[in-house]
Amino acid sequence: MRDVVEVATASASRARLLARTAGAPSLDKPGPESVGDHRDSSHHLLPATARSPPMSLSRLFSLPAALSAGRREMALGTLGVAVGLGCTEWIGYLALGGQVPWFIIPMGASAVLLFCVPASPLAQPWPSLAGNLVSALIGVGCYRWLGETGAAVALAGCLAVGAMFVLRCLHPPGGAVALTAVLGGPLVHELGYGFALMPVLANTLAMLVVAFLFNNLVGRRYPHLAPTRAQPHDTADPLPSKRVGFRAEDLDAALASFGEVLDVDRDDLEEIMVRAQMNARRRTWGALRCADIMSRDVVSVGPQAPVGEAWSLLAHHRIKALPVVEEGGRLVGIVSVPDFFIDRHNPEPQPVPRMSTARVVAEIMSARVRSARPGQSLADLVGAFSDGGLHHLPVADEDGRLVGMITQSDVVAALFAGERTT
């Protein structure tokens, strides 16, 4: 009898657990009363971001998550700091001759930003230059008013941060520059407002030049400007990928509701979200490959074929492009309808387009042709067809031989089928 009771008790416990997990009313209070309790409790639910778990000592003193930067970025950041500080100190010494403080300590903090996180909004030229300069001026003013006192230190730091916020030049080392102007000692105090020019402005300019050269030589964009995607049809419409899903105004609203300063550029954050969406699509459509959707009976033409023959093939099969292949099937180019009306010697658009006077396909084809691989994921092609302006894409194997053709209609049909299956 005891076993029966224990089994029944365990079953009831599991049922209550499943009911809570599924969001169903608790089995402890059957009937309408339990439904009312479930409905009322939902009014107290808050998003996960709004209700944080209590901070424990173990969590407070635990190691933070590993940085997303790879070993190469860490090595470049370390090397860049050494190069930046060494060159800036050397330039300052040569320019000022060691007669005045030619190198200030806050440059160490600036070097960390400019060489370790060059994509940060706090590390761009305007925040670096204006942030250090305005902080130096404020620090000198506070020292002249209050002297080398704690009140001057607090006021200089406060006003420097406020000015950097107003001028959109927030640069953390600027706070240290303001304190240096107050606590720098007789050598700094004798310079007066000239401290903002020599050495602050001189050091900052020198480090910015070194950061520009170093970061671009190692393949980083600095200043960090978000890449612009040209509209392939030269119209004012946004790119197709930006017309669905989250939009710029959605991101702006989310950032406004966050209510805190984020050390990431808005355009970079948008690019991260776009890449995250693409990764999710790869996971959803991962089973679909180019070989699954491509046309295998491809109409093609040889490079020495007459132009009239190529035009006849386009008209007969009602297609807009022909892959150009050599003997053996190797892809060497592609020819589309506009190619027949473009004068290679005068590529400017003509008021009344006329058929090209070229005799063979090799004279009008595009030799720089993009292609895909049979095993490539369908998700990799979406950007090329939507934002890239492509209407057709040849598929070639590892040896460069033409094995198929993918058009926009193939992609649309495959995505529709994939969404329906999902």
- The domain covering 290-421 belongs, at the CATH homologous superfamily level, to CBS-domain (3.10.580.10)
The structure tokens 């386009």 sit at 314
CA dist list (Å): 215 to 15, 87, 150, 169, 170 = 60, 14, 39, 21, 21
Q: Mind listing the pLDDT tens digit for each residue in 108-157?
A: 999 999 999 998 999 999 999 999 999 999 999 999 999 999 999 999 99
Give the mean model confidence (pLDDT) for residues 347-358. 60
Q: Mind listing the pLDDT tens digit for each residue in 216-269?
A: 999 998 998 766 655 555 666 666 556 566 667 777 777 778 777 776 767 777
| Model confidence at 282: pLDDT above 90 | no
Element (H, E) at 257: helix 248-258
Give the mean model confidence (pLDDT) for residues 357-378. 85
The structure tokens 């939902």 sit at 42
Rounded CA gap, 204 and 134, in Å?
12
Highest mean pLDDT among 13-22, 37-46, 54-63, 114-123: 114-123
Model confidence at 383, in pLDDT bands (50, 70, 90)? confident
The structure tokens 């080392």 sit at 173
CA 308 to centroid of chain Cα atoms: 47
Collapsing DSSP to helix, strand or coil, 418 comes out as: helix
413 or 234: whose pLDDT is higher?
413
Mean of all residue pLDDT scores within the chain: 79
Rounded CA gap, 392 and 390, in Å?
6
Concatenate the DSSP letters of all residues of 55-72 into one string.
PPHHHHTSPPPPPS--HH
Instruction: Find the Cα–Cα–Cα–Cα dihedral 67, 69, 75, 77, rounded to 10°.
Output: -90
Element (H, E) at 37: helix 32-41
Number of residues assigned to the chain: 422
Model confidence at 205, in pLDDT bands (50, 70, 90)? very high
What's the token pair of residue 365?
Answer: 């084809």
Q: Where are the domains of the chain?
A: 76-217, 290-421
What's the token pair of residue 11?
Answer: 């079953």
| Model confidence at 45: pLDDT above 70 | no
What is the phi/psi pair of residue 402, to 5°? Answer: -70, 125
Helix axes 248-258, 266-284, angle to 10 degrees: 120
pTM for this model (two decimals):
0.61
107 or 409: whose pLDDT is higher?
107
Where b means 16+ CB within 10 Å and e means fewer, 375-413 reads eebbbbbbbebbbbebebbbbbbeeeebbbbbbeebbee
Residues 6+ apart with CB under 8 A from 211: 80, 84, 114, 115, 118, 222
